[in-house]
Amino acid sequence: MTRAAAWTARAAFPAMAMALAGGVLAGCGASPAHVGPAGIDELTIPTPSPDPSDFTGSAENAWFPLRPGRRWTYRQELPTGSRTLVATVLPGRPAVDGIPTRAVRWQVLEGGRTRFAMLRWYAVDAAGNVWWFGQRLASSGPSLDPLARRSWTAGVHGAEAGVVLTGTPRQGDGYLNASRRGVVERRSTVETLSATVVTKTQTYRHAVATLDLSTLAPLHVVRTYYVRNVGMVAQSDTESLSSTIWLLRMSNG
């Protein structure tokens, strides 16, 4: 479904509104028939055999910073209420499928309790592309990503790492985030490079907006917004029981 040149999306809750400048291809239906070119054609996405030589050096992705100690505090609005989420880049470089990664721990703060939600492993290649190498979810408790509800590890049981965000995002680029048959089939398409995100605490401009879908969760249409030198500032899920996540604050640890 093609939108008008100036397209505005408002979340189910008034905490956040997103304005996407330029033509946008929005998701309509259960799942995409085609997610578009990768924009990084020399790479295989997802990759069955990552090359450690591609992940040497100190390359970073400005829209997806992974420096140890970086912490993001979010507010998640749900139909049943709200809760606080905290994502922290942990020290160390755990190896996954032969690649040194950065681990990001997600916790939920609710009712005076702090609960572990998930641990995700990422690695940045020499070109600044952020690859997702797996996740470990809490055995019980809240699920934060409606498009990836099970644990998986690249290189195990046929699971393959994919790209979350390229080093140089381009409108229209599409790629698989991860693949393991029946477990995770998550994919993203870059909708715009100039989104405006308005939350209760701040207005962000020139955000990269991705449309995120999964053949395993066809009712969910997720949009994620990234800001340079900040990271993810908002995310919305437009399934019938909608939710929004928006950034409260960021610290460097």
DSSP 16-70: -EEEEES--B---SSS-S-----S-TTS-SSBSS--GGGG-S----TTS---TT-
pLDDT digits (tens, 9 = 90+) for 221-231: 999 999 999 99
pLDDT computed for residue 41 by the predictor = 57
Exposed e or buried b per residue across 188-209, where buried means at least 16 C-beta atoms within 10 angstroms of its C-beta: bbbbbbebbbbbeeeebeebbb
Predicted confidence band of residue 18 (pLDDT cuts 50, 70, 90):
low
Whole-angstrom distance, CA of residue 159 vs CA of residue 181? 8
* Residue 58 in this model has a pLDDT that exceeds 90: no
Q: Determine the residue type at 158.
A: G
Beta carbons of 91 and 103 less than 8 angstroms apart: no
CB under 8 Å to 213, separation ≥6 — which residues? Answer: 27, 31, 32, 35, 147, 186, 187, 188, 189, 220, 221, 222
Residues 120 and 82: beta-carbon distance below 8 Å: no
- Condensed to tens digits (0 to 9), the pLDDT of residues 231-243 reads 999 999 987 567 7
The confidence score (pLDDT) of residue 190 equals 97
Give Cα 163 to chain centroid, integer Å: 10
Average pLDDT over residues 106-120: 94
The neighbouring-strand residues paired with 162 are 132
pLDDT, mean of residues 134-143: 87
- Nearest Cα neighbor of 102 from 73, 60, 143 is 60
Distance CA 195, CA 202 (A): 14
Q: Is the pTM of the predicted complex or chain greater than 0.75?
A: yes
pLDDT at 44: 77
Alpha carbon 214 to its chain's center:
13
Average pLDDT, the chain: 85
Domain map of the chain by residue range? 6-25+36-251
> Any idea which fold 6-25+36-251 has?
YmcC-like fold (2.40.360)
Q: For residue 23, is pLDDT > 80?
A: no
Closest by Cα among 207, 194, 253 to 234: 207
The predicted model gives 46-72 an average pLDDT of: 93
With vertex at residue 243, the alpha carbon angle to CA 142 and CA 251, rounded to the nearest 5 degrees, is 75
* pLDDT given for residue 17 in this prediction: 56
Average pLDDT over residues 246-252: 95
Whether the pLDDT of residue 15 is over 70: the answer is no
Contacts of 33 (CB under 8 A, 6+ apart): none
Mean pLDDT of 118-147: 93
Taking residue 124's Cβ as centre, other Cβ atoms within 10 Å add up to 23
pLDDT at 57: 79
Residue range 149-164: average pLDDT?
A: 97
Whether pLDDT at 26 is above 50: no
